[in-house]
Chain A
């Protein structure tokens, strides 16, 4: 039983500020809203008259589309800002861009940015709700929420489960958000990767740090493979991609080190044949496609609950 019925904060900037009850509420709401996709008319009027802007400073197909579909299914109007074509290239600051959008009375700004903390700065300066769709190497909260949702859906519960994330932990905002999310919900999180891609300091943040794949996978309920982010690697964080693959790629042989029937997950986009073998990505326990589908329901829930919070604050006499 959850004791809350809306999100208390104006924004969703990360998993860190969310309470366990709020996470539970998002997952339950997503469960209800996922039915919308099964209707002949995939739409409910919850956000009619509201405007959501997708402000993406980094390329993204899946997350941007997922947010767009989520908003459309709640009847909101959606504007996609093509950053390459916008005034950003003319040297406008992030804050000025945001103020311009606010002047156009936008209700939700979904933002992806290469700089950690960029949405936080935006949120501090705007009345609109800011939703973090990935900031630098910091957080990607809706990804973690859809991961929780998927694990709960497939395994029945999250509490007590062991989730092993493998790969480029250091550069991964998904890893950070998943660590906080799964830990908050009572699961154990293991990180596995070579030392240059996985700092021992993650232990202090609550993760079990492994450099040996077999020990990391033994007893795991979820095998969560991360993308190698070649674009963020400088000056040889790894001796070679081949060396990485030999030690850490998830193959059909290695996936057997985990519990029988362990889920295989990946946030996408995949480097097939690098961090994950194709037969594992497409294998019987892979839920990678389910993650994508669940993403829409979870994002609908986030939009819906932020709106509920705004309405509640407005009714209480606060500024919405």
Chain B
């Protein structure tokens, strides 16, 4: 059977035996077995019988719901030199991600129902994990005319975003929110006021001043977040703020949540781990939007993850090639790959640092994003899709971009010694990664 996200489910059964099963949605945390059958989770508990099916030994490993990454750029169609659905979903699988929300800023953008159908059909052919497309808020992402949001949802869009751009026109933003509320689909904002960022290419601060690079003030993010919070409060739309990077924005989101405004937000591993110092001497692999900020903002982001202001961790996986990166800093494309480094970086900055426990992180990577974006999965409850990530939280490795499954090599983490890696990854009951390698 082929489901809406293009996945076929595997017949037969699979027993994952003796791992530490963490399923935040059901409050499970203990050593036990997980039995998968006919593409679904059949049962979770101690001493289960494989029933003649395949057995995966998970002793010493963590067995979690497959990760759900709500912010991924697959670049297909139009920029297949940077990434394809085939390579991007393999990178996802290697990172333990079993569902990706594909951002619509492709060439052309995903702004019509036909484009959604195209991505889904390509995903069914080439994808190894579930691909759930986001649709554009505006026609051609120009921020002028609203896209056919209802048609996009009907075709399979699970979120709306002009990601890469903020919707700068407040009237359009307001009307789009009214519609996303009716459709019960999150409105995802890339929050940066284009008029304020002007020609800025990195965080505005001491480092940009030293390097003589035009800065992007966190105020640019704060202005859009403030506006959107007011609009979400007025319209009742579910506002999801992508890749929050500014301390002040986090304070406003925290305060709005306390008042009951329907807002959620995400943090990326790179904003949690790095600061603008990573730009070093004009390293374009550290160029990203919103930019890596100063330590003050980074610490505020970690604190916001810890206190629940941040709802999910997402990679903002943004592959680019040497053509876009081996140029002058100001001309270089923004973005970095992230699917294959998300888990170890999150473990480092959130769990090993003591900010939260392992089940807390698993929740941010699986059940929380699945729930917010109304996606199946994100849990090991009986009857759920058989999407499982078995990972070793202590496995030490060194980030080597040449070994990535993604086509993108653009990461500021090259050479970094990290710990934590997906070992076995199962999507719809099918094993897609086994012993740390693609099947």
A residues whose Cβ falls under 8 Å from a Cβ of B: 16, 93-95, 113, 115-118, 120-121, 135-139, 173, 176, 199, 201-202, 204-205, 234-235
Contact = CB atoms under 8 A, between A and B. Distances in A.
B211 interface: yes
A115 B282 CA distance: 11
Contacts of A136: 212-213, 330
B209 A117 contact: no
A116 B329 contact: yes
Contact of A117 (B198, B206, B326, B328): B328
Given A117-B282, A117-B329, A120-B282, A173 B209 contact: no
A116 B328 CA distance: 8
Given A113-B328, A115-B330, A121-B328, A205 B210 contact: yes
B198 to A, nearest CB: 7
Contact of B206 (A139, A205, A234): A205
A136 B211 CA distance: 9
Contact of A94 (B199, B209, B328): B328
A115 B209 contact: no
Given A94-B327, A120-B281, A234 B198 contact: yes
B46 to A, nearest CB: 57
Interface string B193-206: 00000110000011
Given A94-B327, A136-B330, A204-B206, 11 more contacts: A95-B326, A116-B211, A116-B213, A118-B328, A121-B327, A121-B328, A176-B212, A199-B209, A201-B209, A205-B206, A234-B199
Interface of B: 198-199, 205-206, 209-214, 281-282, 326-331
19 contacts: A16-B210, A93-B326, A113-B328, A116-B212, A117-B213, A117-B281, A117-B328, A117-B329, A120-B281, A121-B282, A121-B326, A121-B328, A136-B330, A137-B214, A138-B212, A139-B212, A176-B210, A202-B209, A204-B206
Contacts of A16: 210
A139 B329 CA distance: 15
Given A95-B327, A115-B328, A118-B328, A135 B212 contact: yes
Contacts of B211: 116-117, 138
B332 to A, nearest CB: 10
A117 to B, nearest CB: 3
A102 to B, nearest CB: 15
A234 B197 CA distance: 13
A231 to B, nearest CB: 13
A35 to B, nearest CB: 35
Nearest to B328: A115
Contacts of B209: 199, 201-202, 205
Contact of A173 (B212, B214, B329): B212
